[in-house]
Amino acid sequence: MEYANQLSEYAPAQSAAEVEERVAQIRKLAERNHNAEVYKFCYSAIDITTLSCNDSVTSVTEFARKTAEFYGKYPHIPNVASICIYPSFVETVGLAIDGTPMRITSVAGGFPAAQTFLEVKALEVAMAIENGADEIDIVLNVGRMLTGEYNEAANEVEVIRSEMDRDVVLKVIIESGALKTPELIRKASVLSMLAGADFIKTSTGKIDVAATPEAAVVMCEAIRDFYNKTGRKVGFKAAGGVRTAEDAALYYTIVEEILGKEWLTTELFRIGASSAANNLLSAIEGKEIKYY
């Protein structure tokens, strides 16, 4: 499908200076959300993540069991939304969390660089779903975005989306730290949504610049404009570099201010994190917690 010509239907991104000014405004507003109720929601929106070269069946099983045991140990705090792992561990996680409402997220499609054949990407996604993944996180082809091959980048997403059942959630990572400019971040966001993304996600967490409030503002404004034009709600996920409870509250506030409270559900807002989990728990409980 031709996607590049549809970009002209959307206004250009704000300038970097305008985005920075908006972030500064929202930072001040975020102070109202430094409270236990917001932190509890942010915890429940986490895709708790282990994406390490050291992952093994043993370590991932232990990680997943610990996550499942949270229901009994902290019944007053809603548990994380999902566990995010590499495709080869989807079945492992499924066995460990069986009987819980937790979802399974798998990165796939040549994560984190997405530099492989489209057929390989589609097959890896299909295998992850076959093994029980409820949600798939793929990476938009950053190289194609940087060279202006917008149709090619979006068509990869379209092909992968077409191979998935509608009840499987597709999150598209735009790797905002590599795109750098508000205009390219906006284009990547719009193209991903046009091609079928259910969520757009900031980062893989595997390059130096991960999630930033500036990228989040640009992405959420793109989501808002896409919704106004199409009537379709797309979710937002901040990932990489979200470490403190205050970090989480800032992204919560960005979504609240730009998209509204109706986006503040785990169906439309996620945080990809591992270190943030303990910090949110500590902020909720008022003492240091090292659960993970």
The pair of three-digit structure tokens given for residue 240, joined into one six-digit string: 């990489």
To the query of whether residue 187 is one of the catalytic residues in this protein, the response is: no
pLDDT bucket at 274, cuts 50 / 70 / 90: confident
pLDDT recorded at residue 273: 87
Q: Which candidate in 187, 198, 201, 247 is catalytic?
A: 201
To the query of whether residue 229 is one of the catalytic residues in this protein, the response is: no
To which residue do tokens 């009840």 refer? 167
Q: Which candidate in 121, 171, 187, 237 is catalytic?
A: 237
* Distance (Å, whole) CA 222 – CA 216: 10
8-state DSSP, 167 = T
Q: Which candidate in 137, 171, 187, 198 is catalytic?
A: 137
Q: What is the pLDDT of residues 71-105, one digit of tens each?
A: 999 999 999 999 999 999 999 999 999 999 999 99
HSE at residue 118, side-chain half, CA atoms within 13 A, is 14
Please state the φ and ψ torsions of residue 278, each to the nearest 5 degrees.
-60, -40
To the query of whether residue 40 is one of the catalytic residues in this protein, the response is: no
What is the set of domains in the chain, with CATH numbers?
4-285 (3.20.20.70)
Q: What is the pLDDT of residues 217-266, one digit of tens each?
A: 999 999 999 999 999 999 999 999 999 999 999 999 999 999 999 999 99
pLDDT beyond 90 at 1: no
Cβ of 175: how many Cβ atoms within 10 Å? Answer: 27
Asked if 160 and 119 touch (Cβ cutoff 8 Å), the reply is no
Asked if 184 and 157 touch (Cβ cutoff 8 Å), the reply is no
